Amino acid sequence: MKRVIVILAVAAVAACSGTTAKQDLPSASSHLTIEQLIDIRHPSAPMWSPDGRHIAFLWGRAGIINLYVVDPGEKAAPRALTNFSSGQVSGAFWSRDSQWVYFPHQGDLWKVAATGGEPQAVWTTDARESDITLSPDGTRVAFVRPAGTGADAGADLWLRSLTDGREVRIAHDPQRMFGVSWAPDAAHLAYTGGSRTIHHDQMPDYSGAKLIFTITERTPGQTYVVAATGGRPVAIGTPAGFGGIRWIDAHHLVYDRTSKDFKRRTTYIADAAGGTPKVAREDVDAKFWSIPGDADASAQPSPDGKWLLFVSDRDGWDQIYVMPASGGEPAEITKGHFESWRPAWSPDSTRIAFDANEPDHPGDRQVGIASIGTDPAHATVTMITSGRGTNIAPAWSPDGKRLVYQHTDPHNSADLFVADATSDATPARLSESMPPGIDHSMFVEPQFVHYPGPDGKPVPGWLFVPKNLDRTRKHPAIVWIHGDGINQNYDGWHVQRNYAVYYSFHQYLLQEGYVVFAPDYRGSIGYGRDWRQGVYMDVGGKDAKDAWMAADYLKTLPYVDGDRIGVWGLSYGGFFTLIAVTDQPTLFRAAVDVAGVADYAMYDDDPYHGSWTESRIGTPEQNPKIYAQASPMSHIDRLQRPLLILHGTADVNVPFIHSVRLIDLALKHGKGGLISFMIYPGEFHYFTRAHVLEDAWHRVDDFFRANLQPAPGVATR
The model's pLDDT over 235-256, given as tens digits with 9 standing for 90+, comes to: 987 665 556 789 999 999 999 9
Residue type, 67: L
DSSP at 527? S
Q: How does DSSP assign 119-169, residue by residue? A: -EES---SS--EEEEE-TTSSEEEEEEESSSSTTS-EEEEEEETTT--EEE
Domain contains 244: no
| pLDDT for the residue numbered 716 | 53
| Residue 203 domain-assigned (yes or no) | no
CA nearest to 7, candidates 23, 28, 30, 38:
28
Tens-digit pLDDT profile for residues 223-238: 999 999 999 999 987 6
Tell me which of 666 and 87 has the higher pLDDT: 666
Q: How many CA atoms lie within 13 A of 356 on its CB side?
A: 29
Integer Cα distance of 391 and 370 in angstroms: 16
Q: Confirm whether 307 is domain-assigned.
A: yes
Q: Are 540 and 680 within one domain?
A: yes
Same domain, 451 and 428: no
Q: Is residue 556 part of a domain?
A: yes
Q: 502 or 2: which carries more pLDDT confidence? A: 502
Query: Is the same domain home to 376 and 520?
Result: no
Query: What is the reported pLDDT for 607?
Result: 56
Same domain? 486 vs 582: yes
Q: Is residue 197 part of a domain?
A: no
589 vs 568: CA distance, rounded Å: 11
pLDDT digits (tens, 9 = 90+) for 385-421: 999 999 999 999 999 999 999 999 999 999 999 999 9
- Residue pLDDT, tens place only, 326-349: 999 999 999 999 999 999 999 999
Which DSSP string corresponds to 204-222? Answer: -GGG-SS--EEEEEE---E
Q: Which of 388, 410, 434 is the last residue of a domain?
A: 434
DSSP 710: P
Residues 408, 535, single domain; the answer is: no
Residue 24 pLDDT grade (very low, low, confident, very high; cuts 50, 70, 90)? very low
Give residue 606's pLDDT: 58
Number of structural domains, the chain? 2
Percent of the chain with pLDDT over 90: 81
**Average of pLDDT values for 695-712?**
92
| pLDDT at residue 426 greater than cutoff 90 | no
Q: Please check whether residues 461 and 362 belong to one and the same domain.
A: no
Separation CA 190–CA 225 (nearest Å) = 4
* Nearest to 362, CA basis, from 482, 503, 499, 527: 527
Instruction: Centre a 10 Å sphere on the Cβ of residue 653 and count the other Cβ atoms it contains.
Output: 17
Query: Regarding predicted confidence, which is higher, 520 or 90?
Result: 520
Task: Write the DSSP string, 382-425.
Answer: EE---SSSEEEEEEE-TTSSEEEEEEEETTEEEEEEEEESSTT-
For a pLDDT cut of 70, what percent of the chain falls above it? 93
Q: Of 408, 434, 460, which marks where a domain is finished?
A: 434
- What is the predicted pLDDT for the residue at 637? 97
Per-residue pLDDT reduced to its tens digit, 52-74 = 999 999 999 999 999 999 999 88
> Is the predicted pLDDT of residue 138 greater than 50, yes or no?
yes
pLDDT at 87: 80
Which band of pLDDT confidence, cut at 50, 70 and 90, is reported for residue 19?
Answer: very low
**Which residue would you say has higher pLDDT here, 568 or 149?**
568
What's the pLDDT band for 217 if we cut at 50, 70, 90? Answer: confident
Q: How high is the pLDDT of residue 130?
A: 94
CA dihedral 622→628→633→636, nearest 10 degrees, is 160
> Are residues 461 and 345 located together in one domain of the fold?
no
pLDDT for 589 beyond 90 = yes
* Residue 579 belongs to domain with CATH number: 3.40.50.1820
Return the pLDDT at 652.
87
692-699: list long-range contacts, CB under 8 Å, 24+ apart: 692/648, 693/38, 693/62, 693/501, 694/34, 694/35, 694/38, 696/594, 696/646, 697/34, 697/37, 697/38, 697/505, 697/508, 698/3, 698/34, 699/644, 699/646
Nearest to 613 by CA among 604, 621, 622: 604
The CATH number for 419's domain is 2.120.10.30
At 548 the pLDDT is: 97
Distance (Å, whole) CA 613 – CA 602: 10
Of 570, 426, 429, 441, nearest to 496 by C-alpha is 570
DSSP 328-377: ---EE-S-SSS-EEEEEE-TTSSEEEEEEEETTEEEEEEEEEEE-TT-GG
Boundary of a domain, candidates 411, 434, 457: 434
Q: Does the residue 362 lie in any domain?
A: yes
Task: Provide the domain limits for residue 382.
Answer: 291-434
Q: 497-511 vs 690-708: helix axis angle to the nearest 10? A: 40
Same-domain check for residues 424 and 459: no
Say if residues 108 and 63 touch (Cβ distance below 8 Å).
no
Judge if 558 and 688 occupy the same domain.
yes
- Residue 357 CA to residue 242 CA, distance in Å, equals 28
Tell me: do 419 and 368 sit in the same domain: yes
Element (H, E) at 313: none
User: 399 and 511 share a domain?
Assistant: no
Q: Looking at residues 679-697, what average pLDDT do you find? A: 96
In a domain, 671, yes or no: yes
Tens of pLDDT, residues 408-417: 999 999 999 9
In a domain, 32, yes or no: no
Residues 502 and 642 occupy one common structural domain: yes
